[in-house]
Chains A and B, each alone.
Chain A
Amino acid sequence: MEIDPFIFRLSIFILSIFIGYYVVWSVTPSLHTPLMSVTNAISSVIIVGAIIAALAGESGNIFDTANIFGFLAIILAAVNIFGGFLVTQRMLAMYKKKKKDKK
């Protein structure tokens, strides 16, 4: 009997939760705010679904209701991607070690 592909995706999902669990516990508490902003940025990978939805059935009519929802989702996700990664970078750039001459 063949295994339903859903089971494979479920396996990926469960294993990823475990990876997330161990990786996030190793994040230093002082970086918890950047952690939130970067997880927010990467969860905007949902834009992938939005792109497929927006460009679907293009030969016919790209201004179907379904496409328009896709386009709207693209804008929202794009705000998040750029905003999320940039703000993370801005924060991370501020974390500095003690200067050597002060020691």
Chain B
Amino acid sequence: MISANLLAIFYLISGVLFILALRGLSSPETSRQGNLFGIIGMAIAISITIFSVGNFSTGFLYLMILILIGGSMGTFIALKIPMTAMPELVAGFHSLVGLAAVFVAVSAFLNPEVFNLGSSGNIKIASLIEMSLGAAIGAITFTGSVIAFLKLRGIMSGSPITFFGQHYLNLALGLFLLGLIFYLCKTQVDTWFWTIIIISFLLGVLLIIPIGGADMPVVISMLNSYSGWAAAGIGFTLENTALIITGALVGSSGAILSYIMCKGMNRSFFNVILGGWGATDQSSSSKSKEQKPVKSGNADDAAFLMKNASSVIIVPGYGMAVAQAQHALREMVDVLKKNGVKVSYAIHPVAGRMPGHMNVLLAEANVPYDEVFELEEINNDFANCDVAYVIGANDVTNPVAKSDPQSPIYGMPILDVEKSKSVLFVKRSLSPGYAGIDNDLFYRDNTLMLFADAKKMTEEIIKSL
């Protein structure tokens, strides 16, 4: 057995290592070392806990077998998953953390003596509050992430599901939860505890279904944050420093990412959470459906334009991920570079289905990260660039966001693609993007539409280059 003080110090060390793991991500060079710190922190936390329980008989054997089973499943998934599926993977993993938090809370509720929380039916009030909060947030994270996973995977439609009085129902359920926690503390009756968990499961589903596909970056970040708060709640219950530190880190990390994503769309957090954005705008888009002249071209035209350009900026979006076009894109850029064309990549904060989604895909295709730029870094360069190659992005390039105060995306920071001498817009059809808004860019004189699948078009361009 290890003394409680020593145990706490080891947990503190784990916590510090986790902080260093996040700190390492400030630059790609230090990030790999950071990940190693994280792994060491986790190894310390797990081994010290096993030592502290200090019973190396049957239970220990089961423990090892279960870690091995879970570990090999995790390893298998991590090695097999294609990079384009990263958003649903992360959503899936969040759901596991949420469910684990629920299970630990249930276990602590059933057997409080083990965690020094009092005895069954007479649990300390503070612990009871912490554990119900941990369980509730964990349960919301679980079902919420499952829904997000199904939407991202395409098993469930990405369009928002809304019904009358939805927000009031959620509000009522939330208040009901608080009431249940209050009653649980007062009466210690276990029915309340189970009801809390069931209501939270339901609330998780209801919270995520009204949120549309392109708002997924916010949802994933938010669930990331929730899983952190759930861990922190359990950490308070178990009086465990490592869990409290980690929970706080993860919670604030997810919250910051949600904030960055909302800012990238110029929408308030509540606007996204309350959802139903895509649904309200469909009517306005159908009104303005008049035929405007569009210039369309083929791969040869595109190749000609780019070959004779001195600088090209590539604007990737979710469509590139769907078409898996990142490798073809890199090949095209290689050819262009051989012809002496300067190429860089411009990434909008909300491009793709999760924060940093495009960066990972480009990195996978061996695009050096110092050729990839964020919105603020590159936006002034469009004015001096010859060709902007928009592949799979749409709303984030729509100049309407700057010019039309009536537009729902008005005020959203966009990539100033229209300022470049010519724009090549790879898209399968003229249909409006997720926001349901026509893109002004399609009808500009300097825009050449390339109607095709992103990957096929890019490959054809390579051929004609």
Return the chain A residue nearest B23 by Cβ: A23
A54-98 contact mask (Cβ, 8 Å, vs B): 1 or 0 = 111111001011110111111111111111111111111111111
Return the chain A residue nearest B48 by Cβ: A48
Chain A residues contacting B103 (CB-CB under 8 Å) are 50, 53, 69-70, 72-73, 76
B246's partner among A27, A42, A69, A71 (CB-CB below 8 A) is A42
| Contacting pair A73 B100 (CB below 8 A) | yes
A48-B46 contact in complex given A27-B26, A36-B355, A69-B107, C-beta closer than 8 Å: yes
| Contacting pair A9 B244 (CB below 8 A) | yes
| Contacting pair B253 A39 (CB below 8 A) | yes
The majority secondary structure among interface residues of chain B is helix
| Contacting pair A40 B244 (CB below 8 A) | no
Chain A residues contacting B97 (CB-CB under 8 Å) are 40, 43-44, 46, 76-77, 80
Chain B residues contacting A14 (CB-CB under 8 Å) are 248
Chain B residues contacting A26 (CB-CB under 8 Å) are 23, 26
Residues A11-44 near B (CB distance < 8 A):
12-14, 16-17, 19-21, 23-44
| Contacting pair A48 B79 (CB below 8 A) | no
A77 to chain B, nearest CB (A): 5
| Contacting pair A82 B35 (CB below 8 A) | no
| Contacting pair A46 B243 (CB below 8 A) | yes
**Bound complex: CA A92 to CA B31 (Å):** 7
| Contacting pair A86 B78 (CB below 8 A) | yes
Chain B residues contacting A78 (CB-CB under 8 Å) are 66-71, 73-74
**Bound complex: CA A23 to CA B126 (Å):** 30
**Bound complex: CA A78 to CA B77 (Å):** 12
**B15 near A: Cβ within 8 Å?**
yes
B227's partner among A19, A32, A43, A98 (CB-CB below 8 A) is A43
B456 to chain A, nearest CB (A): 25
**Bound complex: CA A75 to CA B111 (Å):** 20
**Bound complex: CA A90 to CA B78 (Å):** 8
Chain A residues contacting B231 (CB-CB under 8 Å) are 43, 45-46
Chain B: interface residue total (CB-CB under 8 A) = 117
**Bound complex: CA A35 to CA B23 (Å):** 10
Chain B residues contacting A71 (CB-CB under 8 Å) are 62-63, 66
A53's partner among B60, B107, B239 (CB-CB below 8 A) is B107
A52-B238 contact in complex given A33-B354, A42-B18, A77-B96, C-beta closer than 8 Å: yes
**Bound complex: CA A59 to CA B86 (Å):** 43
B198-232 contact mask (Cβ, 8 Å, vs A): 1 or 0 = 00000000000000000000001100100110011
| Contacting pair A95 B50 (CB below 8 A) | no
A39 to chain B, nearest CB (A): 4
B29 to chain A, nearest CB (A): 8
| Contacting pair B369 A87 (CB below 8 A) | no
Residue from B57, B243, B356 having most chain A Cβ neighbours under 10 A: B356
- Listed stretches B170-178, B288-296, B359-367, B411-419; interface member: B359-367
| Contacting pair B53 A28 (CB below 8 A) | no
B340-368 contact mask (Cβ, 8 Å, vs A): 1 or 0 = 00000001010000111101100110101
| Contacting pair B53 A55 (CB below 8 A) | yes
Return the chain A residue nearest B60 by Cβ: A55
**Bound complex: CA A17 to CA B220 (Å):** 19
**Bound complex: CA A64 to CA B114 (Å):** 13
A69 to chain B, nearest CB (A): 4
| Contacting pair A24 B114 (CB below 8 A) | no
Residue from A5, A44, A45 having most chain B Cβ neighbours under 10 A: A45
A45 to chain B, nearest CB (A): 5
Given contacts A43-B228, A73-B107, A86-B79, 16 further A-B contacts (CB under 8 A): A6-B126, A9-B236, A35-B25, A36-B224, A38-B38, A42-B21, A44-B42, A51-B46, A51-B50, A52-B49, A53-B111, A57-B113, A62-B62, A67-B107, A73-B104, A82-B74
Ordered by A's residue number, 11 sampled pairs between the chains whose C-beta atoms are within 8 Å are: A20-B250, A33-B360, A42-B250, A45-B14, A48-B46, A48-B243, A49-B238, A55-B59, A71-B66, A79-B74, A82-B72
What residues of chain A have their CB less than 8 Å away from a CB belonging to chain B? 5-6, 9, 12-14, 16-17, 19-21, 23-59, 62, 64-67, 69-99, 102
